[in-house]
Chain A
Amino acid sequence: MIEVRVFATLRQGWDKVTMLCPEDIACAGDVLKKMGIPAGEVSILLVNGFHQKPDFPVKDGDIVALFPPVGGG
């Protein structure tokens, strides 16, 4: 399974954690499509803790974390 974690204001529309079947999912962009999350709402996309672009390949067992634009200090 692919674990999808969403954070901050994205939680207003999606569950904190969703487990997705890896079938039909080749890249992080496919995760967004499957979840119905507009790419424009995602500012930071992590795959297993590292920043990636939507074309980055994902596979069974990966963790995809999605953040809207955030700042702090």
Chain B
Amino acid sequence: MAGAYYEKIARINLTTGEIRVEPLDLELAHKFIGGRGLGTKILYDEGVATVDPLSPENKLIYITGPMTGASAPSTGRYMVVTKSPLTGMIACSNSGGIWGAKLKYAGWDAIIVEGQAPEWTYISIVDDKIELLDAREYLGVMSEEMDAKLKEKHGADASVLNIGPAGEKQVLLAAIMNDKDRAAGRSGVGAVMGSKKLKAIVVKATRKSLDNIADVDALKVAAKNALDVLKANPVTGAGLRQLGTAVLVNIVNNIGAFPTKNWQESYYDKGEDISGETLAEKYLVKPGACHRCPIACGRVVNVNGKVVGGPEYEPLWAYGGNCGNNDLNVIDECNMLCNEYGLDAISVPCTIAAAMELYQRGYIKEEECAGVPLEWGSTKALVEWTKRMGNPETELDWLMSSGSARLCEHYGHPEISMSVKKQEMPAYDARAIQGIGITYATSNRGGCHVRGYMISPEVLGLPQQLDRTVTTDKAAWAKTFQDLTAVIDSMGHCLFTSFAMGAKEYTDLLNAATGTSWTVEQVLEIGDRIYNIERMFNKAAGMKPEDDRLPKRLLEEPVVNGPSTGMTSKLPLTLPEYYAARGWVNAFPTDETLKKLGLDECVGR
């Protein structure tokens, strides 16, 4: 058996009910590692790029990496790879918890779901045995309740992945939830699951760890080293456990890069009220951790007497400053609602923020708001519109649940949507931090920070401090971060390990687990290859060079308040440098680049 892969993929056709077991192409797995990389390669080869994302022809791949579930720190990740109905391009949403590890322990590298079930269905996986079961009685059930119901039916040792009402209704901002409050949140993957009438996948496994590691002793050494590195690092060893990602509110606000009121401002004078420090003081019950994770960045909070998963930095910002709201308890509540309806807790509040600006400027009229005007800072609006977007009924409900790009386009003001490739940008103002703008503009899945987290060097000083205000060398840094991130994701590791670990540690872990003998350079080249296959998927899906862009506001409207006043994004300078570093012309790889990366099948396409 090949190290760390079970060499088994289940292909489930929901139209016919056929369940086929296919061997994993091991050579391909090594070439793309697994997870994000391998999933994209499979979709590309199977011609998914040109299909309608919400049609039965789209495919939904739940895929692990070779490290998923391995005896090494922070290996609880799985990915959902599909064609996004939000962006029309590649989607890869990554989630923690334990579901991914259980899928692997059950002996599966990936599940490929095709077609559309005639009636609402859920999938039960118990080791080798896969069954399609009737889900009609669960229609409309909220995500957390669904988790409880299926655990009650299948046993407490079952791990549940599901969609809430938003996914059922094919809301374009719908997430896939697992283990109650973990989310494959972005790019509307929940809508694809809903389009297939697939409500849930429940997994049980006899194995409690991987029994197919290539070199157990080498993995022990590499894992011990990784754990030591994580524990010794003040961020991964203590900081994230104490304050979670929420700690970023104050630092990002204090440098004047905290988008406020839909990016009209960049400093929020009430930032302290919604900070990680305030969250810890007032609402934190305890930290939460995914499978085999010593970092424990998760927040468990008390929302009006209910103990639930708490907000990350992103929703704190998006429901907070970006909507002009400083009521932290309401952010906790809205975050909980996103989890229950199964919604992207970044794109939903960012779309509400865009709607609030449309309302501010008189484009959305009060009479359209069905009794809940979209006023800045209105806690009632945040709660009610989140519920409406999770279960839309009126025209405006549907428009908002389709994301800010479609919403703002409808009102004739696309410039108000703070999105890239129709996906909302996250919580760092790219006018104030030059490198992160490259990541946003070139991210294959649209507006996203975790495709190359330039905040690490530009704000947090990790691994070294770069000047956030300049463009020098940022293109090369962004490319390297993107490539390494593609590797970490594809391995099944949590990206947060990279605050402490470097390419060497990942290479050692990968080689020990899979039996490969890659050098660090070769592993980074795999990351480059993954980034390029994603780009080729997008090209086949109809992406145009002008899709690598930032909203006009970031290029033409200087920051109006706070420390970064007067700054704009210099993307027109950095983008050509980035393309040169990638070996791309007009946003796409040259044939020479494709050949160099071993993507000969893409040449000429």
B461 contacts A44, CB within 8 Å?
yes
Interface members, chain B 388-403 (any A CB < 8 Å): none
Interface flag for B66 (CB, 8 Å): no
Closest to A47 in B: B563
B239 contacts A8, CB within 8 Å?
yes
Which residues from chain A contact B277 at a C-beta distance below 8 Å?
7-8, 11
Which residues from chain A contact B285 at a C-beta distance below 8 Å?
none
Complex partner residue of B239 from A9, A65, A73, CB under 8 angstroms: A9
Interface flag for B49 (CB, 8 Å): no
Interface flag for B43 (CB, 8 Å): no
B453 contacts A49, CB within 8 Å?
no
Query: What are the interface flags for B232-251 relative to A under an 8 Å C-beta threshold, 1 for contact and 0 otherwise?
Result: 01111011101111111011
Which residues from chain B contact A67 at a C-beta distance below 8 Å?
250-251
Interface flag for B496 (CB, 8 Å): yes
Complex partner residue of A70 from B239, B449, B468, B562, CB under 8 angstroms: B239
Q: A48-B563, A65-B254 given as contacts; is B246 within 8 A of A72 (CB)?
A: yes
A51 to B455, CA, bound (A): 13
A47 to B370, CA, bound (A): 47
A68 to B313, CA, bound (A): 17
Minimum CB–CB distance for A42 against chain B, Å: 11
Which residues from chain A contact B234 at a C-beta distance below 8 Å?
43, 68-69
Interface flag for A71 (CB, 8 Å): yes
A69 to B251, CA, bound (A): 11
Interface centre among A7, A16, A44, A72 (most CB of B within 10 A): A72
Complex partner residue of A49 from B239, B245, B255, B465, CB under 8 angstroms: B255
Interface flag for B185 (CB, 8 Å): no
A71 to B127, CA, bound (A): 37
Q: A5-B254, A68-B234 given as contacts; is B242 within 8 A of A73 (CB)?
A: no
Interface flag for B499 (CB, 8 Å): yes
Interface flag for B564 (CB, 8 Å): yes
Minimum CB–CB distance for A11 against chain B, Å: 6
Interface flag for B571 (CB, 8 Å): no
Interface flag for A4 (CB, 8 Å): no
Q: How many residues of A contact B (CB 8 A)?
A: 21
Interface flag for A46 (CB, 8 Å): yes
Query: What are the interface flags for A55-73 relative to B under an 8 Å C-beta threshold, 1 for contact and 0 otherwise?
Result: 0000000000101111111
Minimum CB–CB distance for B284 against chain A, Å: 14
Minimum CB–CB distance for A71 against chain B, Å: 4
Which residues from chain B contact A51 at a C-beta distance below 8 Å?
255, 461, 465, 467-468
A73 contacts B562, CB within 8 Å?
no
B251 contacts A70, CB within 8 Å?
yes
Q: How many residues of B contact A (CB 8 A)?
A: 44
Closest to B455 in A: A73
Closest to A70 in B: B247
A49 to B459, CA, bound (A): 11
Interface members, chain B 313-366 (any A CB < 8 Å): 313
Closest to B453 in A: A73
A71 contacts B462, CB within 8 Å?
yes
B239 contacts A68, CB within 8 Å?
yes
Query: What are the interface flags for A29-54 relative to B under an 8 Å C-beta threshold, 1 for contact and 0 otherwise?
Result: 00000000000000110101111000
Interface flag for B495 (CB, 8 Å): yes
Which residues from chain A contact B238 at a C-beta distance below 8 Å?
9
Q: A43-B234, A46-B254, A46-B255 given as contacts; is B563 within 8 A of A70 (CB)?
A: no
Which residues from chain A contact B247 at a C-beta distance below 8 Å?
7-8, 70-72
Minimum CB–CB distance for A33 against chain B, Å: 21
Minimum CB–CB distance for A58 against chain B, Å: 14
Closest to A11 in B: B277
Which residues from chain B contact A69 at a C-beta distance below 8 Å?
233-235, 239, 460
Q: A70-B248, A71-B239, A72-B244 given as contacts; is B468 within 8 A of A49 (CB)?
A: no
A20 to B491, CA, bound (A): 50
B240 contacts A50, CB within 8 Å?
no
B255 contacts A73, CB within 8 Å?
no
Complex partner residue of B297 from A16, A46, A48, A72, CB under 8 angstroms: A72
Complex partner residue of B245 from A16, A44, A46, A73, CB under 8 angstroms: A73
Complex partner residue of B562 from A5, A11, A49, CB under 8 angstroms: A49
A48 to B562, CA, bound (A): 9
B456 contacts A71, CB within 8 Å?
yes
Complex partner residue of B450 from A16, A50, A71, A73, CB under 8 angstroms: A73
Q: A8-B277, A44-B460, A49-B256 given as contacts; is B562 within 8 A of A72 (CB)?
A: no
Minimum CB–CB distance for A53 against chain B, Å: 9
Q: A11-B277, A43-B234, A65-B254 given as contacts; is B453 within 8 A of A50 (CB)?
A: no
Closest to B246 in A: A72
Which residues from chain B contact A72 at a C-beta distance below 8 Å?
240, 244-248, 297, 312-313
Minimum CB–CB distance for B466 against chain A, Å: 9
Query: What are the interface flags for B426-459 relative to A under an 8 Å C-beta threshold, 1 for contact and 0 otherwise?
Result: 0000000000000000000000011001011001
B465 contacts A70, CB within 8 Å?
no
Complex partner residue of B496 from A5, A48, A71, CB under 8 angstroms: A71
Minimum CB–CB distance for B264 against chain A, Å: 18
Interface flag for B276 (CB, 8 Å): yes
Closest to B458 in A: A51
Q: Which residues of chain B have a CB within 8 Å of any CB of chain A?
A: 233-236, 238-240, 242-248, 250-251, 254-256, 272, 276-277, 297, 312-313, 449-450, 453, 455-456, 459-462, 465, 467-469, 495-496, 499, 562-564
Q: Which residues of chain A have a CB within 8 Å of any CB of chain B?
A: 5, 7-9, 11, 16, 43-44, 46, 48-51, 65, 67-73
Q: Can you add 11 more A-B contacts, CB < 8 Å, to A68-B239, A72-B244? A: A7-B247, A7-B251, A8-B250, A9-B243, A43-B460, A44-B459, A46-B254, A49-B256, A71-B247, A71-B462, A71-B496
List 11 A–B pairs whose Cβ atoms lie within 8 Å, in order of A's numbering: A7-B250, A7-B254, A8-B239, A46-B255, A49-B564, A70-B239, A71-B235, A72-B313, A73-B449, A73-B450, A73-B455
The 7 closest A-B pairs by CB, nearest first: A49-B563, A72-B245, A71-B235, A69-B234, A71-B499, A72-B248, A70-B247
